[in-house]
Structure 1
Amino acid sequence: MKRNYCLSLMLLALFGMATPFATDAFAESVPSSHSTQQAKKITGKVVDVTGEPVIGASVLVKESGTGAVTDIDGNFTVNASVGSTLEISFIGYKAATVKVTNASSYAITLQDDSQALDEVVVTAMGIKKDRKSLGYAIADVNADELMRNKSVNPINSLAGKIAGVNITQGGGAAGTGSQIILRGGTSLERDNQPVFVVDGVIYDNSTTVVGNSAFDGSLSTASTQANRVMDINPEDIENMSVLKGSAAAALYGSRAAAGVIIITTKKGKEGALEVNLSTKYTTQWAKTLPKTQRKYGRGFAEDQYTGGKYTGTTYNDFSYNSWGAPIDNNTPTYDNIDDFFQQGGAWDTNVSVAGGSKNGNFYLSGSYYNQDGIIPNTGYEKATFRFNGEQKWKIFTFGANVAYSQANTDKTLTSAGLYGSNGSGTMMGVFRWSPTDDMKHYLNEDGTRYRMFGDRLDVVDERDNPYWILNKNKLKDNTERFTGNFSVKADITDWWWISYRMGIDSYTTDDSKVLAAGGVYKLAWQKGMYSENSYRYKYLSTSLMTNFNKQFGDFNLNLMLGTSTDDTRTWSNYRMAWNFEIPNFYAFDNATNDNRDFSSARHQKRLVGVFGEFRADWKNMIFLTVSGRNDWTSTLPVENRSYLYPSVSGSFVFTELLPKTDWLSFGKIRASWARVGKDTDPYSLDTALWPSQKFLGNRTGVSNFWMSGNATLKPEITEATEIGIELRFFNNRLKVDYAYYTNNSYDQIMSPRLSNATGYILRKVNAGDIYNKGMELSIGGTPIQTKDWTWESTLNVSGNRGTVKNLLEGVEILYVTDVQVGNAKAASFPNGNFMAISGSQWKRDDQGRVILDKNGLPTKATGTNSTNVEIGNREPKFSGGWNNTISYKGLSLNMLWEFRVGGHVYNGTEYAMTLAGISELSAQREKIEVSGVNGSGEFVTNVFEADKIYTYNGKEASGRTIIANYYQDIYPYETANFMTKVNALRLRTVSLSYSLPKSLLAKTNVIKRASVTATANNLLLFTNYNGDPEVAAAGSGAVGSSSVGIDYCGVPSTASFSLGFNLTF
């Protein structure tokens, strides 16, 4: 261990030679001869209130500027003269001062300062403010809290911890993304996820879409996609601040209509060099698998007729579906679903080195994450590196942040698979496979694909075996990302500073897809298909800010002014080839010109803004903030490209006027109003020309793009109001925060369909109004706090309701994505719900009773008003989390529960399995009962039994075939039959950690801190839904109302257990 520690020091020393503060950082504790001429040697020990030594505390001699840091026992040695002042500080503790007397040894106790840490928060533009001065809600999560349920995706670590934050994980596939929504959606067609800001620079969080992968919710081409915040190493995060309201985020202008999440990464601290090493292994397994029937085998029931007269029913096995004969005891069955999933695992290793002095600091880290998915042949791999440095010189402070990451994903097709195929999606195949067929039998002895029906069925009408898809079709993506920023700040006086920042965010995603020859695709791909897509993103930004702060009597005034410039560019190049000349050789040169295609696109967008904020407070009791930002965007017409975003907020700490009491520690009321908005995509004003590689007999040319331009577009606008109250009781042992808000988003940029006579399909226009209203309640406190015991508990609850006030005249329903399962679609309705589910229904009378047809079965309603009606609302009535941490000395137990009440989920997985005769529901085929109104107006209940004969469509038919037709055609037509109004309670995380005593570690003379942690995620789920209700059929994209609440043959969620340790040297 000592040898490793020395090696770390050597590496750091070599690295430090290249840093501008290296000399200062390592020589700070070496006093000069001049400063020690009249000084004497002083020793001491720094401990906390429990008597444990404080390691790495800074001990500074105020007069000379020299100092030291405490060692592993809390001891220090400095040179100071009598009458000098020692300043002792360490993060998380209140600073202490000691006057040097004739004594030569001092014992110093530092008091906890958790309240002070809680009072300062990071707000817009990275400015730190006192929490009590804010006129809007803000929530932040520190590094310790994030690590309690650490996820490779930092978004997931916020789940259940902040009121008003809804996170949906995109399933259990390796490398899958998550989406995050703050206070409901504000845009009908634009991205409704908040903007991420990392160390002052906008950080793209797109769900990268390339090639034939999922696009804005496309189920027919879906595969696992990551959201790009996953490129950050969670171990590098010091703090995440969530700006939920428009007033909090208004300074970011047109990028912040959906809120802002500010990520601050770690820095080195003044004191001794620290090396941190952590590693963790996680095992995962599939959870909440769909329930299936194992009574009936593959095939279908077929009525026999002779001379038009019914003669009996037989079974035909010429079908993939399981509507066949009952399975007898002599027929082997296979548990295809359970046997398909493997136990996944992941290694997560991190190392960091940090140090600093009073004039400079640095932080250097590296990480490696390697995951094997629960689906065979899938995985996710990520490596990250980061350097943060800061150096002070005279009035200047220079900062530099650089990060590099590389992520690789091996994935598979999900949902329904490829467009134009008959079930090439892995999970659809798994969930629909008959229990009488061994799914592992996918190859013939010669290595060709096993065809269950041989030549009896055309290839394009077959279903691909999931094992064929996994082993033969290869889908990969690789993302390399570089981010960085350079900043300089000049403290002109103690009340005036100027800062400049330049930042870059650049990444490239390369996606490739191999579809093996002989699979179930359209005929053109029978000899294989290969595609590549390269997507490049580059964002450059600069900002200049100045700040003035002065005290005038009882008034404190602050003025901040700034300007920023953003330039965003994207490039994409897509190539595809098929029908290869040489089998199984997937190269573009192996295909003729007729069997090759390519396309490319390039976009650029610029945004220039000026902004300012004025703050005033009186006696640190009444606070007022007025801000404004004006943006100029390149994507809107000249007359509309300049727009102003004002905001005003205020707060009143009324307890400053009340007599001091033991029970009420703090009370504040707050209110805010703000206006923010969004512009549009590049090149939306003019109709673009679309190049075609194959045009008029392979001659190149161009044609009009399918989107008609609109040169009169305006920005979307969101006006938001918020009122709230904060209360703290019993010396801050109990905290309550309540907020009520409204968001009105108008001039929506939407794309209604045009008449075919126009020559276009869509045209962007300003129309539509989304109105959100909701509440957020957070109750937290420390019920128990003694020398050895601590219990911290936080309960948060929030509810939002989003409605569409109006749409474009003549538009009765808006489908933002192509998310559709059967007749169920994600939709928005005028004067209805923003996150609605539309669908079809049975015909009903004026009393709402089902009308039966001549066969005694429900009648399908037809026409637009019957097939595109609002069936449900995907937005929960309310949701929240309950987080508890109980600590006893070095032991700490954390439990996080999440809950939701209300909100519909459409079970498209059960829908698909029912059609295939494999769902648990479809096992109820010996008898069904159907109630409704018959042709005479009488309410009746009809019973159909499998072994009886009925008149059906004018002729005799067995009850067995009628029941099968009912489940495959009539029952699914009623969309509500697969809808569930969900209630759910989930144990999201439970973790137990143990920190070794400092007295024990002191004996090593090397290890400062050591801990071991065991964590289990997603162990328990109590719900009335058949599956996991946390679903988004199209993954982590959140365009418009997204695909949240629609479940369709996705990779099931996982439960996991992990064990890890952390060492600090």
Structure 2
Amino acid sequence: MDVYKKSGRLTFICLVTLVAAMIAEPVWAQNVNVTGKVSDNNGEPLMGVYVLVQGSSRGVSTDMDGVYAITAPADGTLLFSFMGFDNVAEAINGRSLIDVTMTVSSVALEELVVTALGIKKDRKALGFSVTEVGAEELLKNKQTNVINSLAGKVAGVNVTQSGGSAGSGSTIIIRGGNSASEGRDNQPLFVVDGIIYDNSTVIGGNSGTDGMTKTASTFGNRVMDINPEDIESMSVLKGAAAAALYGSRAADGVIVITTKKGATDGTVKVNVGSKYSYSWANSLPELQGVYGRGYYNQAGVFSDYTYNSWGQKNTGTVYDNVGNFFRGGNIWDNSVSVSGGSKNGSFYLSASRYDQQGIVPLTGYDKTTMRFNGEQKYGKLTVGANVAYSISNTQKTLTTAGLYGGGGNGAMTAVYGWSRSDDMTHYLNEDGTKYRMFPQYQDLASDRENPYWMLNKNKLSDQTRRWTGSVNANMDLTDWFNVAYRVGLDTYTYDEYTYIAPGGAVSERYQNGRLSKSDRNYQYLSSNLMLNFHKTFGDFDFNLLLGQTLEDTKNILQNHWGYDFVTAGTISFANIANENKFFTETTIRKRLIGVYGEFRAAYKNIAYLTVTGRNDWSSTLPVENRSYFYPSVSGSLVFTELMPKNDILSFGKIRASWAQVGKDASAYATNTYMWSPAAVSPGFVGIGNNWTRGNPFLKPEIQTSWEVGGEFRFFGGRLGIDYTYYNSTTTNQIAAPRLGQSTGYIFMSINSGSVSNKGMELMITATPVETKNFSWDLTLNLSGNRGTLGDFMKGVDLFYVTDVQIGGVKAAAVPNGGYFLGITGDYWKRETLKDGEGNVVKDENGKEVENPDGRYIIDETTGLYKTTGVATNVLGNREPKLIGGFGNTLTYKNLSFSILLDIRKGGLIYNGTEYLLLNNGLSPMTLDRESVTVEGVSSATGEPVAYTYKAGQMYIVNGAEKSGEYMIQSYWSNYATNSYNLLTDTNWLRLRAVSLSYDFKGLFNKQSFIKGLTATVTGTNLFLWSNYKGMDPEVSVSGSGTGGSGSSGIDYCGVPATAGLSFGLNISF
């Protein structure tokens, strides 16, 4: 361990220990002489109302029965405040009993929301869009990956789950992607209790997948390490103006997570929660079982030497290999917390355990978390600390990729492609040796690996151990000047382990076993100093914030691997000869220093103005370009303050903002490096150029955005409308397009092009019915975004970032105003377009233009439809036109029922799984095997032709005799090459979540040992209505963390998404 790591961790541990010791002093409440109960207009007690002695910092909160107790001067005044209610001031006048009734505020916007740097601001003062989701809403459909809890709930936020694997990750994109670089996943910055929280998806790279490394398995994103029960609220900062103070990493938005703290009412609360969930695959591909394994050659001779299902009709058992492969998943989720405090301090302790059995056999995920949050006041000084630990383990499987260049497939491609005339569970002979289907015809490397062999013999697992925490101090030097300082740490170790058992269908080199272990040690240290000045002059209110931040990031990546075990049955690197063992280590370091400022001004409750500026210095940019400044300005006008009060429009506000955010480069992008010396084959060591050529002239990307919007509340807050239109352009894109091979490199980092996003967001809230015992609340959010890639470097017509290629289809970004989430592929050619005089129409480059409504061309050399032969044709846009959510909550006394519908309109999805089934003869579309007909125009003569091929007959095609069966088989493979046949402009309406809960608070009184009990039943993904004919269309073949234009909209042999039911109890003491 180097000196840097030792000193950093020792300093942090000492600070945490010191602050924890300060906090640990007794915080129990003192005797009181004023008590009372706080209720709403219906007489229901209000828990959590803050009761403050006016003119002092002494305050308490009401308990679950609305009761409070506080010491106060006999001639003083008590102030009662609660979010969503009008404040109340009560003169004490010597009274010892004061009961208070609070009225719901006519304007629901009189609430504070968490914004940049954790600063709470009045919502009506904001000139940009911020959405806050509270703990109650997040836990209605509790997910171990908190990202999934936001799906369908926030306008402008698109959440894509990467499948139903245990421990799989999710991708969250706010207002479209802004960077075309593979090194940027375009996901928002996560900040937990003021500390930047890494959300990377770690790809171990141990799966040798021929250009598709990231599809080899499913990987988790690191926000999964948070216990959802610890979260008090999540604030989604969408625009650059909202996030600018966080610096370079905030250009894609920010999600600010605030964890729970103890109450200040002098009591200690214990909360215990337990939930059991059962899940199942919500959608599986349909496979034909009429025809079994086999094929017909050109001469019409049948053979069963194939894995494909072009054979004769099944007369024996037809196996449901796919349906029998997946099992029901079981999840146990348990948590406990202890919290408490007094007027001068509070604490919160929690622990949780999550155990998931995946729907794929022998896969699973478990997570254990612990957290401590504490705060203590010493007069004008407030100190706090928080620390969290988590450890998680994932047992998974390769999904879609081949094993190290052999003929084998990942488990899922094998499952979906296995003939239904063969029992897939038959992977061992009676003597325990491996069962092979064609040992007499082919070598082991050419076998199609059995999924059960992979699951039972091979091992793929990972473990993450994570510590996060911070210490902070806040001093009120005067009534108008405040100083705050925070230092934080986020560190984790990610270990991935892969074992390929001897006898696997892999390259000969690895057939005696392979072992690899990849380790990533991530460490992030930060400090943040803030000076806050606040003064009021008459009707004007001014606030000035000045700050400085330091961020230091270090990654150490180690990779061990070896092959050819010396002794059978011993899985260890010590059991591999030295010449077959390899090791690499890479250290990546980055430092960023920033200074920032924010000036806020307000006039009465009418007009608000905010101006910010930040300058960063980044170690990843050249010296002359590493300093960059970016400002923002935003404002809002509450125009209803200028109007007479009325019963219709209760509140009206317009807002606008303009902002810039700078983004630096990835580490070491400015320099060119050689690969470390490594063994390229036994006895030989090689060295060569890194794939990417560096660029010492890189500049930061600059994102410029603006937005306008309005917020309106009608009928005393019963109806609310929030609308935003935004426009954003990121210039100086740092990208790495492919170079010519003659350069000696594959990529080169450059500044070129721009990415633009424009769109709208609409949020509607309403309470149609509200009585003493019944209420009905609903929310509707809709948003649409259009992302385009601007002018790029000359000669780059398509920009492939992710290496996602299924058949002839690729995920791509299209320059010069094309789709940012584009898709390209091969297709059947049509006849050329002709003008009124019969002349062929050509484009500006002299290329013949196809007639989009013309007839298909029949290739006379194959007797089938002619394809373009390339995968670079732009097919369309993967980005949805509209996404949204519609939620309803109905409450009757202690019973609550909620339902959330998820909406999508448009956006192409490619059914790559159907591509596999078509080529394997398993698609139901291939059931008509008696004849097929192709119609179009001849490639030789241009004249209309039609060819019909029938089973049992012979045909002359291009001078060669071919059987009808062979031509029918070839037709369906030809059908699959036309990408348009497998593309769907997809719509869906999804029952994302439904829950029913009952609060048994009527069973307990104040003296009861049990203070509260809630039972909840929840359903997830129970129904899906969609025009997409494949599996669940919420897909991203490369999983979470994929850079640039990503891989959403590509569906290929993934672990199916799940539906589920859960049953939970929550008890408080």
- What SS class does the counterpart of residue 1005 from structure 2 fall into? helix
Tell me the equivalent position of 1:854.
Answer: 860
Structure 1 residues 395, 1003: CA separation in 2 closer, same or farther (over 3 Å shift)?
closer
Q: Deviation of residue 217 (structure 1)?
A: 8.7
Q: 1:514 and 1:549 mapped to 2: Cα distance?
A: 61
Per the alignment, do residues 546 and 217 of structure 1 end up closer, same or farther by CA in structure 2, a change over 3 Å counting?
farther
The corresponding residue for 1:724 is 709
Does the 8 A contact of 1:517 with 1:584 survive in 2? no
Choose 68-77 or 494-503, whichever is displaced more: 68-77
Q: Secondary structure of 1:606's match?
A: strand
Please report how far the alpha carbon of residue 59 of structure 1 lies from its aligned counterpart in structure 2 after TM superposition: 6.0
Equivalent residue, structure 1, for 2:824: 838
Partner SS for 1:160: coil
CA gap 1:213/1:796 in 2 versus in 1, 3 angstroms: farther
1:788 alignment partner, one of 748, 773, 785: 773
Tell me which residue corresponds to 1:414: 399
Equivalent residue, structure 1, for 2:150: 158
Letter in 2 for 1:658: M
Task: Kindly provide the CA deviation profile for residues 439-491 of structure 1, in whole angstroms up to 9, marking residues without a partner as x.
Answer: 11101122221101123221111111111011001111000000001111111
Shift of 1:843: 2.3
Number of the residue aligned with 1:132: 124
In structure 2, how many angstroms separate the alpha carbons of the residues matched to 1:374 and 1:824?
29
The aligned residue for residue 837 of structure 2 is none
1:38 aligned partner = none
Query: Shift of the alpha carbon at 1:388?
Result: 0.6
| Counterpart for residue 160 of structure 2 | 168
Residue identity matched to 1:834:
F
Tell me the amino acid that sits aligned with residue 988 of structure 2: A
Does residue 121 of the first structure (1) align with residue 126 of the second (2)? no
| 8 Å CA contact retained: 1:577, 1:587 | no
Distance 2:210 2:637 in 1: 44
Residues 1:830 and 1:527: Cα distance change in structure 2 (over 3 Å): same
Unpaired stretches in structure 2, ≥5 consecutive residues: 1-16, 833-850
Q: Is 2:959 the counterpart of 1:959? A: no
Secondary structure of the 1:583 match is coil
Aligned match of 2:504 in 511, 514, 519? 519
- What's the counterpart of residue 22 of structure 2? 20
- The amino acid across from 1:25 in the alignment is V
Q: Residue in 1 aligned with 2:886?
A: 882
Aligned-residue offset at 1:275: 0.8
The amino acid that maps onto 1:598 is: F
Question: 1:217 and 1:314 mapped to 2: Cα distance?
Answer: 36
**TM-score when normalising by structure 2:** 0.92
Does the 8 A contact of 2:205 with 2:213 survive in 1? no
1:100-499 alignment runs, 5 A limit: 100=92, 105-112=97-104, 119-189=111-181, 190-213=184-207, 218-219=212-213, 222-271=216-265, 272-304=267-299, 313-328=300-315, 331-499=316-484
CA, structure 1 residues 1038+660, in 2 after alignment: closer, same or farther (shift >3 Å)?
Answer: farther
Residue by residue over 1:656-713, the C-alpha shift from the partner in whole angstroms, topping out at 9 and shown as x without a partner, is 2222211101111111111113211111212113212327984767543222121001
1:931 aligns with 2:958: no
Cα distance in 2 for partners of 1:640, 1:606 equals: 15
* 1:424-823 mapped onto 2 (5 Å cutoff): 424-694=409-679, 698=683, 702-823=687-808
Aligned mates of 1:214, 1:619 — CA distance in 2: 64
The answer for the alignment partner of 1:1058 in structure 2 is 1062
Q: What SS class does the counterpart of residue 914 from structure 2 fall into?
A: helix
Structure 1 residues 248-272: Cα deviation after superposition (integer angstroms, max 9, x where no partner): 1111221111111111111112112
Deviation at 1:857, TM superposition (A): 4.1
Please report how far the alpha carbon of residue 978 of structure 1 lies from its aligned counterpart in structure 2 after TM superposition: 1.2
Counterpart in 2 of 1:310? none
Matched residues in 2 for 1:977 and 1:348: separation? Answer: 43
Task: Please provide the CA RMSD for this pair.
Answer: 2.4
Shift of 1:944: 2.8
CA distance in 1, matches of 2:984, 2:57: 67
Which 10-residue stretch deviates more, 667-676 or 473-482?
667-676
Q: Shift in Å at residue 997 of structure 1?
A: 3.2
Residue identity matched to 2:268: L
Relative to structure 1, is the Cα distance of residues 30 and 1054 closer, same or farther in structure 2, using a 3 angstrom cutoff?
same
SS in 2 for 1:909: helix
State how far apart, in whole Å, the 2-side matches of 1:507 and 1:713 are. 31
Per the TM alignment, residue 927 of structure 1 is displaced from its structure 2 partner at its CA by 2.7
Q: In structure 2, do the counterparts of structure 1 residues 110 and 316 end up closer, same or farther at CA, with 3 Å as the change threshold?
A: same
Q: Which amino acid aligns with 1:575?
A: H
Cα shift at 1:213:
4.9
1:51 CA displacement: 2.9
Q: 1:821 is matched by which residue type in structure 2?
A: I
Tell me, yes or no, if the aligned pair for 1:211 and 1:574 is still in contact at 8 Å: no
Distance 2:190 2:1033 in 1: 27
Distance 1:741 1:368, change over 3 A: same
User: Cα distance 1:544–1:1003, how it changes in 2: closer, same or farther (>3 A)?
Assistant: closer
Aligned-residue offset at 1:53: 4.0
Q: Give the length in aligned residue pairs.
A: 1027
With 809-818 and 584-593 compared, the bigger mean Cα shift is at: 584-593
Q: Which among 983, 986, 991 is matched to residue 990 of structure 2? A: 986
Aligned to 1:1012: 1015
- Supply the distance in 2 between the matched residues of 1:622 and 1:780 (Cα, whole angstroms): 24
SS of residue paired to 2:297: strand
Residue 568 (structure 1) shift: 0.4
Once structures 1 and 2 are overlaid, which stretch shifts more, 987-996 or 453-462?
Answer: 453-462
Tell me the amino acid that sits aligned with residue 1023 of structure 2.
Answer: L
Partner of 2:12: none
Structure 1 Cα separation of the partners of residues 209 and 188 of structure 2: 19
Alignment gaps of 5+ in structure 1: 1-14, 32-40, 305-312
Of the structure 1 ranges 56-65 and 622-631, higher mean CA displacement relative to structure 2 is found in 56-65
Q: Distance in 2 between matches of 1:268 and 1:726?
A: 33
CA contact (8 A) 2:273 2:1067 kept: yes
Taking the TM superposition and a 5 Å limit, the aligned residue runs for 1:1034-1053 are: 1034-1053=1038-1057
Give me the whole-angstrom Cα distance separating, in 2, the residues matched to 1:680 and 1:1007. Answer: 55
Identity %: 52
The Cα of 1:84 is off from its aligned counterpart by: 4.7
Name the residue aligned to 1:6: none
Structure 1 residue aligned with 2:835: none
Partner of 1:8: none
**Higher alpha-carbon deviation: 894-903 or 620-629:** 620-629
Asked if the contact 2:536/2:542 (under 8 Å) is kept, the reply is yes
For residue 942 of structure 1, report the CA deviation from its aligned partner. 3.6
Give 1:570's aligned amino acid: N
Deviation of 1:948 after TM superposition, in Å, equals: 3.7
Q: Once structures 1 and 2 are overlaid, which stretch shifts more, 618-627 or 642-651?
A: 618-627
Partner of 1:36: none
Instruction: Label 1:301 to 1:63 Cα distance change in 2 as closer, same or farther (>3 A).
Output: closer
More displaced stretch, 377-386 vs 125-134: 125-134
CA distance in 2, matches of 1:116, 1:644: 37
1:859-938, aligned counterparts within 5 Å?
A: 859-862=865-868, 866-934=870-938, 935-938=940-943
CA contact (8 A) 1:347 1:369 kept: yes
CA contact (8 A) 1:216 1:1037 kept: no
User: Is the CA contact (8 Å cut-off) linking 1:21 and 1:359 kept in structure 2?
Assistant: no
For residues 382-416 of structure 1, what are the alpha-carbon distances to aligned partners after superposition, in whole Å with 9 as ceiling and x for unaligned?
00001111111121111111000000000000112
**Is the counterpart of residue 943 in structure 1 residue 945 in structure 2?**
no
Q: Which range moved further: 17-26 or 673-682? A: 17-26
8 Å contact from structure 1 (residues 498, 547) kept in 2: yes
2:224 partner SS: helix
CA contact (8 A) 1:221 1:417 kept: no
Q: Which moved more, 1:504-513 or 1:762-771?
A: 762-771
In structure 2, distance between residues paired with 1:98 and 1:297: 83
**Mean alpha-carbon deviation: is it higher for 62-71 or for 764-773?**
62-71
- Once the 2 structures are TM-superposed, how far is the Cα of residue 761 of structure 1 from its aligned partner? 1.9
